[in-house]
Copies of this chain bind each other. A is one copy, B any other.
């Protein structure tokens, strides 16, 4: 059932021993939202704890500060920033699948799963909603709570870079600064810090970029053994899709990842020139105008050649090459 903000407040005031669920592969928004709400409920004298299927990344959890895990029997279960029940992760799913009392989320793609649901897709982050909730609960936004909410908002907006940032997002950010959020420290660690391996791996990828069609199209191949060869982890690859995209003049950027089983996973990002989804549909894939994906059988060079042919055909159709 869809509920309004007043009902969210009523539910939280009414209940105690509250478990807050964060989604698997936790990001800054699910962590920041969950811990901000936990701190707020605890300051009201309630028992509350956050539960997540997976470990919290060190580079995110530092922002929530020191906390202690309270042990109690869950009487009320809230999910924060979870758009689909599958995102609970297997362990949490098994225990809580049909026990979620209230979902708080901002995803446009939210699929209903809780008894009551508050979804606000104009919010840049679930943490932006949590800010409103905490204010309405009458709880002071402490420095710790401000840090949590800031973590959620800054990570979901690329530090205010994306187009999801609204006047209200900036308004909340201003309130968080006033409440003492340590924005510079959080920003430095999240947006201006890379591991040595990540920097090295990105340099290798930069040097492997192949350019086509007057450098309008940039292609990166990632062999199946890339991580092993370079002693890198998936974490070190978190920024790879941005590498060809950020290059001036590149309007079509393609990452081809070779899988162990003789297929290649392809991700295509486009500016305004062509429709990425159209390119990927040729291979049974799909997506949006700006971002799409598909799978192509064969090795890296084969996949690249086939893709280039399709892109060239499309560019010819619209008289660009």
Contacts and interface: CB of A to CB of B under 8 A. Distances in A.
Interface of A: 159-163, 165-171, 173-175, 177-178, 183-184, 187-188, 191-196, 199-200, 202-203, 206-207, 211, 215, 242-243, 245-249
Contact of A165 (B161, B177, B192, B195): B177
B173 A177 contact: no
Contact of A199 (B169, B184, B247): B247
Given A160-B160, A161-B187, A165-B177, 20 more contacts: A159-B161, A160-B173, A161-B191, A161-B192, A163-B183, A166-B174, A167-B175, A167-B177, A169-B174, A171-B171, A171-B174, A192-B245, A193-B248, A196-B211, A196-B215, A196-B249, A199-B206, A199-B243, A199-B246, A199-B247
A231 to B, nearest CB: 15
Contacts of A194: 246-248
B170 A177 contact: yes
A223 B241 CA distance: 32
Contacts of A167: 174-175, 177-178
Given A168-B174, A171-B170, A200 B206 contact: yes
B196 A248 contact: yes
Contacts of A199: 206, 243, 246-247
A321 to B, nearest CB: 19
A175 B174 CA distance: 12
Nearest to A187: B161
A265 to B, nearest CB: 24
Contacts of A162: 184, 187
Contacts of A163: 183-184
A248 B161 contact: no
A290 to B, nearest CB: 12
Contacts of A160: 159-160, 173
Nearest to A164: B184
A170 B174 contact: yes
